[in-house]
Amino acid sequence: MKRSLLLLPVLFAGWAFAAPASAPAPSTLIANVANRATVSLDGAWRVIVDPFDNGKDRFFHDAKPKDKSDLVEYSFDASPVMNVPGDWNTQRDALMFYEGPVWYRRMFNYHKRDAIRTFVYFGAVNYKATVYLNGEKLGEHEGGFTPFNFECTSLLREGENSLVVEVNNARHADAVPGIKYDWWNYGGITRDVSLIEVPETFIQDYWVQLAKGSQDEVSGSVQLNGAQAAQKITVSIPEAGVHQTFNSDANGRGDFHFHARLELWSPEHPKLYDVDLTIGNDTVHDQIGFRTVEVQGSKILLNGKPIFLRGISMHEEAPFREGRAFSPEDAQTLLGWAKDLGCNFVRLAHYPHNENEVRLADRMGLLLWSEIPVYWDIDWTNPATLANAEAQLRDMIARDHNRAAVILWSMSNETPVKPERLTFIRQLAQEAHDMDSTRLVTSALNHVEGSGTDPRTLSDPLGDVLDVLGLNEYLGWYGGTPQDADKIEWKSNYNKPVIVSEFGAGAVAGRHGDKDERWTEEYQDNLFQHQLAMIQRIPNLVGLTPWVLMDFRSPLRILPGVQDYHNRKGVISNRGQRKLAFYTLQKFYLDRAKDAK
């Protein structure tokens, strides 16, 4: 994966935030873009759909005929528009099943100023993006759900500029995810695009959090980018009376520790503090919550006390309209539904979701599980696939490591038990721990010993490297009946916390019948009732995130009149109708919440 490194006069040596020498290159991401001076490039982009891959050697020029005899056999100016952010599948009927290249172009006016560096920042592009400015290549990025930026200072022109992106959502066996997955392969520039303007030396990244194991010591670091590496840095948290200065070293890295009396962030009290960091003429502002999370034996402790995670899994799928969710309003609806359910926790499956969701969860007091798309079977022995997964992990952590809401980094979902997969995910887990020692590492596992009505044992060898075990099980849907759950006992080979990260059943909203009739709300509800009774007998249970908050589009779910390319396991339909299981789960959570008081 080629990144913007070549264009950055970067001071990365020594940057690694405690990463070991063998760790892959650090993220080049600019932190906290949400609060930076930006010029939005959202809106209408011209697009050329290029199924036969004709554009490679020419579309990036964004050429126009020089005179009336000149031959140019494409034109962005005459091509139709597409909204950014947005997937192409739901913007044009003919593209619903499209997988391949689409070329995007955005013209913008720019006024260049001395001593300002400019980066173009993409919230996400699915899956591969190749970015050009004024006919010159800025770089490439792979991975459909992580942000990336390229410096473009020297390529910007005074006045009109042409930004061209080749977006390609073709699936590949060596990619992450691989070929087969149970969600829609929405292509396009699916999150916000902006130009970020920063001084010549600026704060590229920072960590501000409670020191591991402490509730009154703030510990953090700042990483500068630019020639003025050694600088005075100020951190202030005005409401807590904090105003600290320290110095960065010759690599632009500065560490700090100080005592502070802070109200702790929790789901019941999602307190955020205004935090400002300043160097020279660069100031970044953020809102940060302070909390601790740790594992003690088979419990998860939040701020030192055991917590039960009343969760739900969700995709980044737009409520009411079809397509990828991206906006603050989408986030408000989806996380609002999770709150209505009585949740204090959400599993953002199966890839990093947009920043609007994560920031809103910080404000609403919803704890989060955030995941990279290492899903089912991928090319475990391919070094490029590992490098790709590592980059996605790094950028997920780089974007969200100051968000109190995020407590779990998930390395994978339902991956097959085999040695090469263990080596691959062990490496990811190691890196996640090295990059961020203050959060917990998990994976959703589905390997258990035992069948029929025999006891089940969680025995996946991956359990060794995780802090928390996720367990996906579909008893009563992919095998057996919902009532079988009453007879199943569970064991675990690990004295570690367990989250039941999936169980569920498909139901068409409004379809009613007997509790043993597939696709009815009654079947799904009955399954939820038996599952909720059973999972309380799972040793070391610390929470659950049933599958799934809302019905979502999937290529694997074909049954006409029932699925019509939708996975119907939502407790809410994609039109917002609450199914019976919603209320069963809600009652369970409200009772658990009362018990916890």
Q: Which residues lie near ligand GCB (CB under 6 A)?
A: 182, 350, 413-414, 472, 502, 547, 567, 569
CB 421 → ligand GCB: shortest distance, Å?
15
Q: Kindly provide the b/e burial profile for residues 118-140, where b requires at least 16 CB atoms within 10 angstroms of the residue's own CB.
A: bbbbbbbbbbbbbbbbbeeebbb
Closest distance of CB 182 from ligand GCB, Å: 4
Tell me the one-letter amino acid at 12: F
Other beta carbons within 10 Å of 402: 20
Contact 338, 366 (CB under 8 A): yes
Residue number with CB closer to ligand GCB (223 or 413): 413
How far apart are CB 413 and ligand GCB at their closest, in Å? 5
- In the bound state with ligand GCB, the residue whose beta carbon lies nearer, of 221 and 531, is 531
How far apart, in whole angstroms, are the C-alpha atoms of residue 26 and residue 430?
A: 15
Strands 188-189 and 116-122: unpaired
User: How far is residue 565 from each of residues 21, 98, 142, 350, 478, measured CA to CA in Å?
Assistant: 46, 15, 26, 18, 18
CB of 214 vs ligand GCB, minimal distance in Å? 36
Q: Within 10 A of 449 (CB to CB), how many other CB atoms are there?
A: 13
**Based on CB atoms, which residue is closest to ligand GCB, 569 or 592?**
569
Shortest reach from residue 144's CB to ligand GCB, in Å: 15
Q: How far is the CB of 323 from ligand GCB (least distance, A)?
A: 18
Nearest to 193 by CA among 301, 119, 82, 260: 119
Residue 24 DSSP class? P
Closer CB to ligand GCB, residue 471 or residue 534?
471
Of the two residues 3 and 350, which places its CB atom closer to ligand GCB in the complex?
350
Classify 44 as helix, strand or coil. strand
What one-letter code names the amino acid at 521?
E
Distances (CA, A) of 213 to 158, 220, 271, 554: 52, 14, 19, 42
CB of 563: closest distance to ligand GCB in angstroms?
Answer: 11
Q: Which is nearer to ligand GCB, 210 or 499 (CB)?
A: 499
When the beta carbons of 390 and 414 are compared against ligand GCB, the nearer one is 414
- In the sheet that 253-259 helps form, which strands lie side by side, from edge to edge? 202-210, 217-225, 253-259
DSSP structure class, residue 556: T
Cβ at position 567, least distance to ligand GCB in Å? 5
Q: Given the complex with ligand GCB, which of 167 and 445 has the nearer CB atom?
A: 445
Residue 316 or 502 with smaller CB distance to ligand GCB: 502
**In terms of C-beta density within 10 A (0-12 exposed, 13-18 middle, 19 or more buried), how is residue 251 classed?**
middle
Question: Which residues does 478 contact at the CB level (< 8 Å), separation at least 6?
Answer: none
Q: What is the C-alpha to C-alpha distance for residues 186 and 182, in angstroms, rounded to an integer?
A: 12
- If the CB atoms of residues 292 and 410 are measured against ligand GCB, the closer one turns out to be 410
Residue 54: CB minimum distance to ligand GCB, A: 35
Question: In whole angstroms, how close is the CB of 68 to ligand GCB at the nearest point?
Answer: 55
Q: Given the complex with ligand GCB, which of 182 and 355 has the nearer CB atom?
A: 182
Q: Which is nearer to ligand GCB, 205 or 502 (CB)?
A: 502
Nearby residues of 399 by Cβ (< 8 Å), 6 or more positions away: 29, 31, 146, 147, 352, 355, 358
| Closest residue to ligand GCB using C-beta atoms | 182
Closer of 110 and 565 to ligand GCB (Cβ): 565
Smallest gap, in angstroms, from Cβ of residue 478 to ligand GCB? Answer: 7
Looking at beta carbons only, is 515 or 569 nearer to ligand GCB? 569
Instruction: Show the beta-strand stretches assigned E in 123-214.
Output: 125-126, 128-133, 136-142, 148-151, 159-168, 188-189, 193-199, 202-210
> Smallest distance from the beta carbon of 169 to ligand GCB, in angstroms?
18
Smallest gap from residue 550 Cβ to ligand GCB (A): 12
Q: Is 485 helix (H, G, I), strand (E, B) or coil?
A: helix
Distances in Å between the Cα of 367 and the Cα atoms of 268, 377, 409, 432 are 11, 28, 12, 18
Which tokens belong to 149? 């930026």
CB under 8 Å to 432, separation ≥6 — which residues?
A: 393, 397, 409, 411, 439, 441
Longest dimension (CA), the chain: 80
What's the closest the beta carbon of residue 472 comes to ligand GCB, in angstroms? 5
The DSSP code sequence of 236-260 is EEGGGTEEEEEE--TTSEEEEEEE-
